[in-house]
Structure 1
Amino acid sequence: MTRFAHPPRRAVRVLLASVAVTATAAALLLAATPTTASAVDVFGALRMPGTAAFIVGHRGDRAEAPENTMASLERAMEALDFVETDVRLSRDGVPVLFHDTSLERVTGSRHSVDELDFDELRRLDVGAWYGAEYAGERIPTLDEFLEALASRETARALVELKADWTPEEVRTVIDLVEQHGLRGRIVLQSFSLETLFAVQQVSPTTPRIMLIRELPAEPVALAERLGVIGFGTTAASVTAVPGALEALHEAGIAVLCYTLNTHESWQEVSALGVDGIITDQPSELDQWLATTAPGT
């Protein structure tokens, strides 16, 4: 034990006591906080070249139903381990599933999602453009999607937070994930550094992926700085940075490729050993893997 030659003055004693209390509180907090799930925890063993990747249904199963509708997402959840969807906030702060900035392509409205309140968004038809049999499909809320996911024990999701989110906005998503008991079954992802840092601040134990069109020369350092368990990137990016995939796997970091819809592209990334393939054709990819990698 260290002994002071002269008793510390009151101000110093107060400071020492404050540091001790802070250190104790931090230790207790760390002990009570679950560690972040690793890529292996979430995705299983990282792939070797030639090993079948897991399949992610992009915005559900877009080959069979309109994107980001419950019809599309539920179809994918029934058949796949992972489904992918996009989240934006309505003008009044409700997280809803929608990809584009503008509503026009899917609904005909020239507004953006954040220009309308949820009640206004809910009146829009997001199925008729795809086919008459889906007329009347509505924009789902994140809450509705998570409820459906929670009812399927093996289903998991990659949830992309579109654009830049503040910590307060991220909290609305984390709260919904917690309410539905989906910790570890939801992976948040984003192209936005601001959003990834916000998730890291609000919920550092939530698994997250950085979406990036081109991998940097030293992707491991970036992944460790952001605390991500993986990257979602293009097939061209993986081949453009020699050794990147191997280095990331050695560090326990997963690599997923988007959005691949041809046999040729599936063959290319399977040969490389990427971990996940995000596709608009999940059923066809599943059949292709059954043929090219029997037993998967």
Structure 2
Amino acid sequence: MITGHRGAASLAPENTLVSIEQAAKAGVHWVEIDVQLSADDVPMVFHDKTVNRCTNGEGNIADLDLNTLKTLDAGGWFGSEFVGVSIPTLSEALDKCLELDLTLNLELKIYEEKAIIPLVNQVISLIKSKQFPLDRLLISSFKVDALRLCKELMPQIRRGYICEVWDESNAGLLQDLALYSVHIDHQKLDEKTAKSIKTLGVMLKIWTLNDAQQAAKFYALGVDNIITDIPNKF
């Protein structure tokens, strides 16, 4: 199983609706995107703390309101054919995933601890109000506190813990969070680590593998899902 990273980040500007469309066109069933809040607490699909790299604007996402963010060009940096592509709201991305029959891995992108509670509250509220099907959703984060709050507010949502390296002490997290999956940097995954994670009864996902030739090796280790920028190559 393959997940398109930030949509299909090699084929279209990352974390945009067109990127999600390209992932679906590549044939994947899963897509991963990032979410954080605007200054007026609207969940926006964006990875970086600032808009500087992936738009024609400047400043922190958290300091810019929805109207300002929607005026930015989030596609021209990637290619001239994408000029005018905008930063999507999470609401728009949820609709797009349903339209394209995709299952969503939604990463809570948190740059400051104070953002955890408002972000989780807004995301859960939106999911409830849209009645987004929970069998099409996995919420993931590096932040244990964010996943714990998700569990408290809506325990039936699947939760994934993202880590760069795995430590045996992390196993305790599973008891507390009842995780669905563990997402680890593919460069840090070896046979021992994979076995340690899989014996805990969770799904094992790796990020961000862009060499399709290595897919068989990782599947042999027990990896259930590969997150990649180039889903078309897989």
1:166 to 102, 116, 134: 116
1:272 to 218, 221, 227: 221
Q: Is the 8 A contact 1:155 1:185 kept in 2?
A: yes
Amino acid at match of 2:227: I
Question: Is 1:223 matched up with 2:170?
Answer: no
Distance 2:98 2:131 in 1: 6
SS in 2 for 1:99: coil
Distance 2:80 2:215 in 1: 32
Question: Is 1:135 matched up with 2:83?
Answer: yes
| Counterpart residue number, 2:210 | 261
1:211-270 Cα shifts (integer Å, max 9, x gaps):
00011124433222222111110123321x72x423433332011000010135434312
Question: Is 1:177 matched up with 2:124?
Answer: no
Q: What TM-score, normalized to structure 2?
A: 0.91
Question: Is 1:119 matched up with 2:67?
Answer: yes
SS in 2 for 1:150: helix
How many residue pairs are counted as aligned between the two chains?
Answer: 229
Distance 2:213 2:171 in 1: 28
Distance 1:237 1:203 in 2: 31
Deviates more, 1:270-279 or 1:120-129: 270-279
Q: What TM-score, normalized to structure 1?
A: 0.73
SS in 1 for 2:179: coil
| Counterpart residue number, 1:90 | 38
1:162-191 Cα shifts (integer Å, max 9, x gaps):
014434431221222232432121100001
Question: Is 1:208 matched up with 2:159?
Answer: yes
Distance 2:145 2:169 in 1: 20
Distance 2:187 2:81 in 1: 37
In structure 1, the gaps of 5 or more residues are: 1-53, 286-296
- Higher gyration radius (CA): 1
Q: Is the 8 A contact 1:196 1:226 kept in 2?
A: yes
Q: Is the 8 A contact 1:223 1:230 kept in 2?
A: no
Percent pairwise identity? 31
Amino acid at match of 2:212: H
Deviation at 1:200, TM superposition (A): 1.8
Show the 5 A alignment for 1:96-107. 96-107=44-55
Q: Is the 8 A contact 2:185 2:207 kept in 1?
A: yes
Amino acid at match of 1:119: N
| Counterpart residue number, 1:291 | none
Deviates more, 1:166-175 or 1:221-230: 166-175
Amino acid at match of 1:76: A
More strand per residue: 1 or 2?
2
Deviates more, 1:255-264 or 1:219-228: 219-228
Deviates more, 1:85-94 or 1:57-66: 57-66
Question: Is 1:283 matched up with 2:232?
Answer: yes
| Counterpart residue number, 2:184 | 233
SS in 2 for 1:83: strand
Distance 2:212 2:30 in 1: 20
2:96 to 135, 148, 168: 148
In structure 2, the gaps of 5 or more residues are: none
